[in-house]
Structure 1
Amino acid sequence: MSTALALTHRPWWPWVRRVAIWAFFGAIAWLLLKQARTIDWAEVFAALRALPAPTLLAAGALAAASFALYSTYDLLGRHLTKHRLGAGTVIGVTFISYAFNLNFGSLIGGVAFRYRLYSRLGLGNETITRVLGFSMLTNWLGYLVVAGAAFCFWPMALPPDWKIDGGGLRMLGAVLLMVSLAYLALCALSEGRVWRVRGHVLRTPTLPMALLQLAMSCVNWSLIGGVIWVLLQGEVGYPHVLAVLLVAAVAGVVTHVPAGLGVLEAVFVALLAHEVPETRLLGALLAYRALYYLGPLAVALVAYLVTEARARRLRAGAGNNHNNR
């Protein structure tokens, strides 16, 4: 019997895991609260109010463009699986899932909402899994390329107490680029090959599809970085803002904190406070959260209610047709 299997048969193991997880989250929360107490929030909100209206409009336009682009990711999965939902419906489900994903975490948003909405619209679990998996692959493929380029060609100045320096960051960037190139090579050399992973059948996409994934995701990550760069009003170079965002994105995934709350801000303060006053930096990040997290969430909540109502009508119509036979 393997070690993992043996642990699952011990009644105390689930409790140990739960205690460890909650202790981890508690430690993160304590550190974030400790850091928050040192901040002059009156100055932060003053910096937020001082942002010019044209800056907010430009940042909002970039945020809207990013959401519009991300909302088309599931169309790639629609093409791959050949399911029959309309393009507008797929875009709506992706938008709703993305907004909830950003604010409540991937398990609630990116996964749970997709499964709920797609299943209520008539898709089977296997199809939903393939669509979801391909969208996630698209997102992180672009991350590999953008992060690889940013770390390799525009390495940021890291704090002296960090265990990685500019040279290490360049090496990391090169590795990320090589991984993305390996994916493209796989698509070019093994087009259409079937892989079986844990009972799921996966098919290698074509090279043109892989390049489309790459282009869409790279543009999207670049747009997200552009939102924060505009809100910082050019006080920091765009490549460095983008690189810090990419570090913060991974930190948020690793810590599993919903919306990366506090994690995003902590990373930006750690890496950019020597270039931008902390209060102005946090004011820009609060504006970013309002434009990229809270605003889309409000729209997604309304869209979710509309989608649920439409799904109920579809089921009711299907039930009536069945009864009339």
Structure 2
Amino acid sequence: MTLDPRLQRLLAFLAAHKNKLSAGLMVFVLTIAGFALYELLKNLHPADILAALRRITPAQLLASVGLTILSYLILTGYDVLALRSIGKPQPYWRAALGSFSSYTFSHNFGFAPITGAAARWRAYRGTNLDAADIARIVVIAGVTFWLGIFLLLGVILALQPGALRIHHYELAYPAQAAIGVVILTTIALYLWLCHRRHVTGNSAPLNILGWTLPVPTLRQALIQFTLAALDISVAAAALLVLVPQAMLAHFPLFLAAYVVAIVVALITHAPGGLGVFEAVMLVALPQVDRATLVSALIAYRLIYYWAPLLLAMLLLALHELARAFSFAKASHRKTHPQSSES
């Protein structure tokens, strides 16, 4: 098939200027998010936010910390599953380090494929994994995450009226439910294809633009959906418990807003989704007191984003020091074999 010359020129232009276009898009979105936040918060006084922050109890903070730890523990399963899929499993501690560091970096700095790959490259140094393996892990982990996003969106849209709303305007439930059913039908088709491909013996890896990716079995695909949906739900719960008097009955609507906010933040590649995530949450949850929600979002960013980032940086630094010490010790044994024997 021959592409239209105008389309070829457009694709060439996009490829040549993709970095500038991405940066421009991010600046544009951050500007829009900044204006949106200003409009949402212009009538809110700092004293109201401080008062709402003081209303968050130690029990709520501990619950959020516990759910954050659980979320990141679940996240380690992304790398464990990806490593097994490519046939190069690693000790759990190393897979956990790779997953934890990559996700804390991508959560805070944006551009997940780049920051996540860089963190994993440091974590998996000295193993039998090469650059192509790291890239496959990034892709498989990314696919796992998006499968969870689509599963949650499909279920919420199909079962929860009012899940898609902007301020007090919401999409009519029949239209919303239809979108949810289409998503869930697509997921069912994907699972059937995974099962069918292996039953018929056609389990050869997919080749996409020169990249070879293993086709998951039905069991692996179900694990992907469960793992990601559970991780995202627990992460949302870590924010919900910071909202005073939040009840379990509010969780479906809260989860819907959280999923949409995460997707928008990821698409824009804004560092940590800062500003974008908060703006979407405020718009999607008009029924929550604004000062209360802002205070919860501030505490959540400290607990779920910044504290794990500091821990990941510390763990990677210790990992590098341990590697350097082992290398120096091995070099000393080679150059002074007699002293090492004695």
Q: Which residue number in structure 2 is paired with residue 111 of structure 1? A: 117
1:6 corresponds to: 9
**In the superposition, relative to structure 1, how do residues 276 and 22 fare at CA in structure 2: closer, same or farther (>3 Å)?**
closer
Change (3 A) 1:62 1:47: same
Aligned partner letter, 2:246 = G
Q: CA deviation at 1:182?
A: 2.1
Offset of residue 103 of structure 1: 0.8
Partner of 1:241: 254
**Change in CA separation of 1:318 and 1:137 when aligned onto 2, cut-off 3 Å:** farther
Alpha-carbon RMSD:
3.0
Is 1:99 aligned with 2:111?
Answer: no
Corresponding residue of 1:257: 270
1:22 positional shift: 6.3
Q: Which residue of 2 aligns with 1:80?
A: 85
* One-letter amino acid of the counterpart of residue 228, structure 2: S
Question: Aligned residue for 1:298?
Answer: 310
| Matched residues, number | 323
Q: Secondary structure in 2 aligned to 1:205?
A: coil
SS at match of 2:99: helix
Partner Cα distance (2:272, 2:234) in 1:
18
How far is 1:163 from its partner?
8.4
Q: How many Å separate the matches in 2 of 1:292 and 1:25? A: 23
The unaligned stretches of length 5 or more in structure 2 are 337-342
Going from structure 1 to structure 2, the CA distance change for 1:18 and 1:286 (only over 3 Å counts) comes to closer
What secondary structure sits across from 1:196 in the alignment?
strand
Alignment of 1:185-204 (within 5 A): 185-191=192-198, 192-204=203-215
3-state DSSP of counterpart to 2:166: coil
Measured against aligned partners, the alpha-carbon deviations of 1:135-172 in whole angstroms (never above 9, x if no partner) come to 11111111111111111101326237868443332222
Out of 168, 175, 178, the position equivalent to 2:182 is: 175
In the alignment, which of 42, 47, 56 is matched to residue 51 of structure 1?
56
CA 1:42/1:130 → structure 2, altered by over 3 Å: closer, same or farther? Answer: same
Cα separation, 2, equivalents of 1:243 and 1:18: 27
Q: Which residue in the other structure is 1:132 paired with?
A: 138
Amino acid in the other structure paired with 1:45: L
The Cα of 1:322 is off from its aligned counterpart by: 8.8
2:295 aligned partner:
283
Residues 28 and 291 (structure 1), Cα distance of their counterparts in 2 relative to 1, 3 Å cut: same
Structure 2 matches for 1:59-74, cutoff 5 A? 59-74=64-79
Q: Partner of 2:147 in structure 1?
A: 141
Secondary structure of the residue aligned to 1:190 is: helix
Counterpart CA distance in 2 for 1:139 and 1:288 is 20
CA distance in 1, matches of 2:227, 2:296: 26
CA shift for structure 1 position 311 = 3.8
Instruction: Find the aligned partners of 1:267 and 1:168 in 2 and give their Cα distance.
Output: 21
Q: Percent identity, aligned pairs only?
A: 29
Separation (CA, whole Å) in 2 of partners of 1:8 and 1:214: 33
1:127 is displaced (CA, Å) by 1.2
Partners of 2:155 and 2:291 lie apart in 1 by 30
- Identify the structure with bigger relative contact order (alpha carbons < 8 Å, sequence gap 6+): 2
Q: TM-score, normalised by structure 2?
A: 0.83
On the 8 A contact 2:120/2:134 being kept in 1, the answer is yes
Candidates 284, 294, 306, aligned match of 1:271: 284
Q: TM-score, normalising length from structure 1? A: 0.87
- The more displaced of 104-113 and 206-215 is 104-113
Is 1:31 the counterpart of 2:31? The answer is no
Unmatched runs of 5 consecutive residues or more in structure 1? none
- Structure 1 CA distance for aligned equivalents of residues 158 and 328 of structure 2: 55
Larger Cα-atom Rg: 2
Check whether the contact 2:98–2:124 (CA below 8 A) recurs between aligned residues.
yes
* Letter in structure 1 aligned against 2:123: L
**Contact 1:99 1:109 (C-alpha < 8 Å) held by counterparts:** no
Asked if 1:227 is matched to 2:233, the reply is no
What is the one-letter code of the residue matched to 1:83? K
Deviates more, 1:222-231 or 1:113-122: 113-122
Decide whether aligned partners of structure 1 residues 93 and 53 sit closer, same or farther in structure 2, where only a CA change above 3 A counts. Answer: same
